[in-house]
Amino acid sequence: MDFAGKNVLVVGASSGIGAAIADQLLVAGAQVYSLSRTEPNRPGISWEMWDAAGQNPVPTQHLPEELHGLVYCPGTILLKPFNRFTDADFQNDLQVNLFGAIRVIREVLPRLKKAAGASIVLYSTVASRVGMPYHASIAAAKGAVEGLTKSLAAEFAANQIRVNCLAPSLTSTPLAAGLLATPEKVEAGNKRHPLGRVGQPEDLASLSTFLLSNQAGWITGQVIAVDGGMSGVKLV
């Protein structure tokens, strides 16, 4: 895939999936811009500090007039029984996963419209389509992201802006470090997936980069499971 001359904003490019996406885009020739709490440890990325959990304005002064792509990667993992969730827990998950995405999209939409055929990639979770205990808050927040994806895909189609969403299962990132903290936990995570392993950032980055590219120019409004078969395969 050739991204020469393309400008892409990766929100959350400092670690995990966002970092893997940024790496692939840089190799493909894109100019990568980032918003994140910490500066990406990668040369060639134009960065501004921004925390999706806060209420600070979305900084756009470092962005070009045209954006050909946007990936919103910030997420949360807060798992506990439903009766222990507080309103603040639900509000924080919604803030980071849903309202953060809304605020970024709103701010950069004029730049996306100026590009010929821009692409937005959002992130959901397998827990929004497969009922899982202790996932009530994140499943609710990411379910809202899936609805946002489909609505914006319809609304932005007239501007040739595509909007898609990836729904991963457990992936080996800093965010999920506590769930994969021991060899026993890794083995248990591997066994939960029909393909026999948890995800790696590159698994999600490869599809994200494809969806940003012109090769995915006829794909929009999709929520795509990237979950090792968890949501679609049952082993007997």
Q: Is the pLDDT score of 31 beyond 90?
A: yes
> Above pLDDT 90, what percent of the chain?
86
The arithmetic mean of pLDDT across residues 222-227, rounded, is 97
Q: Return the pLDDT at 179.
A: 86
CATH of domain 51-226: 3.40.50.720
What residue segments make up the domains of the chain, in order of their start?
51-226
| Stated pTM of the model | 0.95
The arithmetic mean of pLDDT across residues 119-139, rounded, is 96
Q: Return the pLDDT at 8.
A: 98
pLDDT tens-digit map of 42-52: 899 999 999 99
Q: Please write down the long-range contacts of 155-162, taking CB distance under 8 Å and 24 or more positions apart.
A: 156/112, 156/120, 157/220, 159/112, 159/113, 159/118, 160/116, 160/117, 160/118, 161/112, 161/113, 161/117, 161/118, 161/119, 161/120, 162/117, 162/118, 162/119, 162/120, 162/211, 162/216, 162/217, 162/219, 162/220
Q: Is the pLDDT score of 132 beyond 80?
A: yes
Res. 144 pLDDT band, cuts 50 70 90 = very high
Q: Return the pLDDT at 176.
A: 81
Phi, psi for 185 (deg, rounded to 5): -70, -40
Q: Is the pLDDT score of 55 beyond 90?
A: no
Q: Is the pLDDT score of 53 beyond 80?
A: yes
Phi, psi for 48 (deg, rounded to 5): -135, 145
Answer yes or no: are the C-beta atoms of 40 and 222 closer than 8 Å: no
pLDDT tens-digit map of 59-72: 999 999 999 999 99
Res. 1 pLDDT band, cuts 50 70 90 = confident
Q: Return the pLDDT at 108.
A: 98
Q: Return the pLDDT at 174.
A: 86
Q: Is the pLDDT score of 54 beyond 80?
A: yes
> In terms of Cα–Cα distance, which of 32, 28, 6 is closest to 19?
32
Q: Which of 13-27, 104-118, 146-160, 181-195 shows the lowest per-residue confidence on average (mean pLDDT)?
A: 181-195
pLDDT tens-digit map of 167-214: 999 998 888 878 888 899 989 889 889 999 999 999 999 999 999 999
Ranges of H-type helices in the chain: 16-27, 87-94, 100-114, 136-156, 183-191, 201-212
Q: Is the pLDDT score of 236 beyond 80?
A: no
Q: Return the pLDDT at 116.
A: 85
State the average pLDDT for the chain: 95
Q: Return the pLDDT at 180.
A: 84
* Crossing angle of the two packed helices 201-212 and 16-27, in degrees rounded to 10: 50
